Amino acid sequence: MPLGQGLDAVFRPRSIAVIGASQDATKIGGRPVQFLLKYGYAGRVFPVNRSAETVQGLTAYASVDALPEVPDLAVVAVPTGGVVAAVRDCAARGVGAAVILTAGFVDAGESGAAAQAELTAIARDSGMRILGPNCLGAVSVATGVTATFSVNIETAMPEPGAIGIVSQSGNLGSYTMRRLSDAGVGISTFLATGNECDLDVADGIAWMAADPATRVILCCLETCRDAGKLIAAMDLARDAGKPLVVLKIGTSETGVMAAASHTGALAGSDAVFDAVLRRAGAIRVHSMEALVDLAQAAAIVGPDRLPRGNRVAILAASGGFGVMLADAATAAGLAIPRLSEATQARILTAVPFASPLNPVDTTAQVSSRPELLVEMLSAVLEDGGCETTILFSSAGFHLERLSAIYIEALTEIRRRWPDKLLVLCCGGPPETLRKLNALGYVTIEGIDAMCRTVAGLARMGRPAPGCPVPQVEKAARPLPPSAFANENASKQALAEAGIGVLAERVARSRAAALAAAEEIGFPVVLKILSPDIGHKSEVGGVAVGIEDPSGLAAAYDMMMERVRAAAPSARLDGVLVAQMAPRGVELIVGTKTDPIFGPVVLVGLGGIFAEIAEDVAVQVAPVGDGEAESMLRALKAFPLLDGARGRPKADVAAAAAAVAAISRFAVRHADTVAEIDVNPLLVLPAGEGAVALDALIVPSARLKSEIAA
């Protein structure tokens, strides 16, 4: 069914039946009726109650069949045992959608899971959309639709506005709605999806992306049950120009996964969610406070004043606070450019003892004369080098005398510069902050919180473009079991996919190793081959820089002795004699199979310290060469590839092509490959390519059992 289809019946119903309606407004079945009457829902409300003639002053009906017309929406609040029958009756009558408030389904064990499966089947077979079960329902503020029992609207409905909220957790979502409402932020719609037997968070995002009343979408996400659906919904929000802010809590189940590779340890599930959200252009926050701050700021700023870049100017009447703001801004990814010489001159003309650099130390003089503050702010706002200006005040709005001066100046600034974005890092009495918000100023007291919020606004104003994802078909034939046997077999399989490798030979004796080295040419590298040894260096299974036959013979004997002592039960397939690699930059490139999003690709600083450095970039596979290069450039270690400290520039294009090729290989063989570990991928100087010096392909659990059988 198309994303979001059927939610019109939830948010814009012409009539609503409340099944299990109660005369008692404190009960779950009583609250939806009370709220619909209290908040002016203009459609028809039909209480369904088998034993009452009226409910809260409305005519009641004994069953759905007895209703005088087919309602667009049914709110189901009957005990768990009666839910399936009630929903089946709704579907038979042709009801457009049902909101199931009742709990006791997949949240209650096997019997509940079976009943929820019946609900899913009813939705699939009838076309009626089902929200829930075990959900807090839905609210459409402008139309007064309250298919919910939330205590957060018991005393007042939020004002209509442009913020849409969709949440798997009803309490998280409704608490967000209340916090925003208390801050004077208007809400368009609220949707809590609960157990998601049919409608889910992705449907809510998609519907809000098309809703003219919604400009910003907030999402509280615990997990993802359908990766493709969620990604498609986020793409719809991005393409509609609707900023999507996601509070992702918890981590997905990692499932049973091979532990043989570095990649499995480095590409955690939360990092995968980060990558998915980043690719879709969504803004991730990590706390309820950050979610509310950014939503409130977006509502105050509006779409026309969102900053189109990340450059900020900072003004504070204290050098210390200015430095703290600069540190926090840098940590949040904001840039702090130097102000122009002309702007600095204007600042010094206004206040000769000021520090005119960015951040600007205004000195305390601006607190006594509003015209000085107006002049300094005007100078910075006219500079043009920054998209956002942050004004810090530690106490200016707490004292009535100082507050009056600041408000006078800020009122004048707003009159002169209505389109400029000036935000206030300040505290103060609630009535003062409301006055500042009404003037169009964002007010946040915490320094870190303000900088994170400004960074979020900058991402809203300059959304990431959609990244084209290459199309990859599954392999017609699975990899043979031999491809998983050892390093040499894995590298040969990857070489067929376009990954460069050096010359190497398998040898099962000292004499064969000597012959292989003579054929390849000294110097060479000697490595143990075993399906049971994932990290060869940890058992003494690697010898490099072997210059001659005598050195090779000695290295062979010592390696066999060390490996047998360190891993006595390991099966040995001989040794690998390989061409000695030239100098280059070592990366780790690998893939793992995420239980939700499937194959993901990782790249980071390689070698034996890969897991210690933890400098990695992750993305859902497959990626194209351009996205792979962006991953490389996101690494802290990228300067090593870019010629830092006189090093030759590395072949970044070849490294990106290798990352992309490995990601395609993982998708093509997703049914049989659990993980791939190329460590290191040696990136040679520009124009010379990149080669895999070591590789490991881990079979999926299913294939592993087949191989064992």
Transcribe 171-225 into DSSP letters: HHHHHHHHHHHHTT--EEEEEE-TT-SS--HHHHHHHHHH-TT-SEEEEEES--S
Domain that holds residue 571: 503-579
The answer to whether residue 261 is domain-embedded is: no
**Any domain includes 274:** no
Q: How many CB atoms lie within 10 A of CB 41?
A: 20
pLDDT at position 259:
36
Residue 314 included in any domain = yes
Q: Which pLDDT belongs to residue 708?
A: 61
Based on the fold, state whether residues 290 and 316 are members of the same structural domain: no
Residue 258 is predicted with a pLDDT of 35
Query: What tokens does 636 get?
Result: 């802290």
How much of the chain, in percent, has pLDDT values that exceed 70? 95
User: Are residue 117 and residue 227 in the same domain, yes or no?
Assistant: yes
- At 709 the pLDDT is 56
Considering the domain architecture, whether residues 570 and 596 belong to the same structural domain is answered as: no
Question: Does residue 416 sit within a domain?
Answer: yes
Q: Residue 410 sits in a domain of what CATH number?
A: 3.40.50.261
- CATH of residue 85's domain is 3.40.50.720
For residue 483, being part of any structural domain is answered with no
Rounded to the nearest integer, the mean pLDDT of the chain is 92
> Which of 431 and 370 is assigned the larger pLDDT?
431
Q: How confident is the model at residue 531 (pLDDT cuts 50, 70, 90)?
A: confident
Whole-number pLDDT of residue 467: 73
Average pLDDT over residues 691-698: 93
- Domain match, 446 and 350 both: yes
pLDDT digit string (tens) for 186-220? Answer: 999 999 999 999 999 999 999 999 999 999 999 99
Question: Do 116 and 60 have their domain in common?
Answer: yes
Q: pLDDT at position 266, please?
A: 47
* Domain end marker among 409, 439, 461: 461
Give the tens place of pLDDT for each residue, 289-329: 999 999 999 999 999 999 999 999 999 988 899 999 999 99
Of 433, 461, 489, which one is at a domain's C-terminal end? 461
Looking at the structure, tell me whether residues 562 and 595 fall in a common domain: no
Question: pLDDT higher for 170 or 258?
Answer: 170
Q: Is the pLDDT of residue 590 over 90?
A: yes
**pLDDT 10s digits, 24-78:** 999 999 999 999 999 999 999 999 999 999 999 999 999 999 999 999 999 999 9
Provide the pLDDT for residue 257: 38
pLDDT tens digits, residue range 65-122? 999 999 999 999 999 999 999 999 999 999 999 999 999 999 888 889 999 999 999 9
Q: 410 lies in a domain? A: yes
Looking at residue 580, the DSSP 8-state letter turns out to be P
For residue 705, is pLDDT > 70? Answer: no
388-393 and 421-426: which strand pairing? parallel
Helix 110-126 and helix 80-93: axis angle, to 10°?
10
Point out the domain boundary residue: 561, 579, 597: 579
Q: Which pLDDT band, with edges at 50, 70 and 90, does 536 fall under?
A: confident
Does residue 273 lie within any of the structural domains?
no
Distance (Å, whole) CA 463 – CA 469:
18
> Which residue type does 180 have?
L
pLDDT at 465 (0 to 100): 76
Does 468 fall in a domain? Answer: no
Residue-level pLDDT at 256: 32
Window from 33-42, 199-208, 362-371, 546-555 with minimum mean pLDDT: 362-371
User: Is there a single domain that holds both residue 319 and residue 395?
Assistant: yes
Closest to 166 (Cα-Cα) out of 135, 145, 197, 127: 135
C-alpha 597/C-alpha 708 separation (Å) is 27
By the 8 A CB rule, do 339 and 385 touch?
A: yes
Instruction: Describe the crossing of helices 269-280 and 227-239 by its angle, rounded to 10 degrees.
Output: 30
pLDDT band, very low/low/confident/very high, at 126 (cuts 50, 70, 90): very high
pLDDT of residue 707: 62
Peptide bond into 68 cis (omega under 30): no
pLDDT band at 706 (very low <50, low <70, confident <90, very high): low
Q: Whole-model pTM above 0.85? A: yes
Q: Are residues 358 and 447 in the same domain?
A: yes
Same domain, 382 and 447: yes
Mean pLDDT, residues 566-590 taken together:
93
Mean pLDDT of 248-257: 54
Residues 224, 340 share a domain:
no
Whether residue 528 sits in one domain with residue 647: no
CATH number at residue 684: 3.30.470.20
Query: Residues of the chain with pLDDT > 90: what percent?
Result: 79
Residues 638-686 pLDDT 10s: 999 998 877 899 999 999 999 999 999 999 999 999 999 998 999 999 9
Same domain, yes or no: 437 and 557: no
Structure confidence at residue 253 (pLDDT): 45
Q: Would you state the pLDDT for residue 370?
A: 84
Q: Which helix (H) or strand (E) holds 23?
A: none
- As a dihedral over the C-alpha atoms of residue 599, residue 605, residue 611, residue 616, rounded to 10 degrees, the angle is -50
Quote the number of domains for the chain. 4
Confidence at residue 608, expressed as pLDDT on a 0 to 100 scale: 58
Q: What is the CATH number of the domain that holds 549?
A: 3.30.1490.20
The confidence score (pLDDT) of residue 345 equals 95
> Which one, of 188, 198, 178, lies nearest residue 76 by Cα?
198
Answer yes or no: is pLDDT of 475 > 90. Answer: no
